């Protein structure tokens, strides 16, 4: 297996891991964050702690995608490749702040019971990190990666177009939520996130099954790597 093929499999696997960890964390957090009176339902604290562990995995996977893809992306634009790597790092950092807020909220509700000002503030911190990280930062990172993938033909163009459409759409949806147009967890919010979900899922499956497109091999040869004779025959 060539280095680029290994990179593709690793990056695709990390993208699948981000999807699974993000969904699991959101589901496990609901009993804690959705408790209207601030009282923990039976087992809600344990589920929230499991959700926090899922989001720790998410932080590692998000950071890993930027690091894994950087050697390939830099051949097609080092500045944009660095922007994507640091953008993913920023996204992971914002998610980590949300994890700390949830853990503090678990401790507070265990000790204090009903909601108070600190309780509401911690829930708000989590909601804002969810908006800024897995929505706005994710949208900007999606545009960067999809643009590079489209320009360099790293994946089929219909997959890259999903990212070019989905990135701005999820950013616009986050701004709409910010100004109170609708709730974060709503039909409109879910519809706006669907293209990005499809982009990451399609990208992950393609990278694992097929690897990078011909643009990656061409750039590798331009960097001085020895061409595969089989590729030359093609």
CA distances from 52 to 75, 95, 106 (A): 36, 10, 11
Q: What pLDDT, on the 0 to 100 scale, is given for residue 34?
A: 65
Taking 80 as the threshold, does the pLDDT of residue 199 lie above it? yes
Q: Compute the distance between CA of residue 53 and CA of residue 59 in angstroms, rounded to an integer.
A: 10
Q: What pLDDT, on the 0 to 100 scale, is given for residue 225?
A: 46
Among 4-13, 114-123, 224-233, whose mean pLDDT is lowest?
224-233
Q: What pLDDT, on the 0 to 100 scale, is given for residue 10?
A: 95
- CA 152, chain centre distance (Å): 22
Confidence band of 233 (pLDDT split at 50, 70, 90): very low
Q: What pLDDT, on the 0 to 100 scale, is given for residue 105?
A: 86
Contacts of 8 by beta carbon, 8 Å cutoff, 6+ apart: 207, 208, 210, 211, 212
Taking 50 as the threshold, does the pLDDT of residue 227 lie above it? no
Q: What pLDDT, on the 0 to 100 scale, is given for residue 230?
A: 39
| DSSP label of 130 | H
Report which secondary-structure segment, H or E, holds 178: helix 157-178
Taking 70 as the threshold, does the pLDDT of residue 115 lie above it? no
Among 38-47, 61-70, 167-176, 180-189, whose mean pLDDT is lowest?
38-47
Q: Is the dihedral of CA 141, 142, 146, 147 positive or negative?
A: negative
Q: What is the pLDDT of residues 81-94, one digit of tens each?
A: 999 999 999 999 99
Note the pTM of the prediction, 2 decimals.
0.84
Q: What pLDDT, on the 0 to 100 scale, is given for residue 122?
A: 83
Among 57-61, 95-99, 102-106, 137-141, whose mean pLDDT is lowest?
102-106
């Amino acid at each position: 297996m060539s280095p680029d093929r290994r990179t593709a499999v690793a990056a695709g696997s990390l993208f699948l891991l981000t999807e699974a960890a993000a969904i699991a964390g959101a589901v496990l957090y609901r009993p804690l964050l959705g408790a209207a009176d601030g009282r923990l339902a039976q087992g809600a604290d344990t589920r929230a702690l499991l959700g926090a562990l899922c989001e720790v995995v998410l932080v590692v996977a998000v950071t890993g995608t930027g690091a894994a893809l950087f050697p390939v992306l830099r051949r097609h634009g080092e500045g944009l490749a660095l922007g994507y790597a640091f953008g993913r790092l920023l996204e992971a950092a914002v998610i980590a702040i949300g994890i700390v807020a949830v853990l503090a909220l678990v401790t507070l509700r265990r000790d204090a019971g009903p909601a108070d000002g600190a309780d509401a503030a911690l829930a708000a911190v989590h909601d804002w990190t969810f908006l800024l990280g897995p929505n706005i930062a994710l949208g900007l990172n999606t545009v960067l990666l999809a643009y590079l993938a489209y320009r360099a033909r790293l994946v089929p163009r219909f997959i890259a177009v999903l990212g070019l459409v989905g990135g701005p759409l999820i950013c616009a949806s986050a701004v709409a939520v910010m100004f109170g147009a609708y709730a974060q967890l709503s039909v409109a919010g879910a519809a706006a996130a669907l293209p990005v979900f499809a982009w990451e899922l399609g990208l992950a499956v393609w990278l694992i099954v097929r690897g990078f497109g011909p643009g990656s091999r061409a750039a590798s040869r331009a960097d001085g790597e020895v061409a595969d004779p089989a590729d030359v025959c093609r």
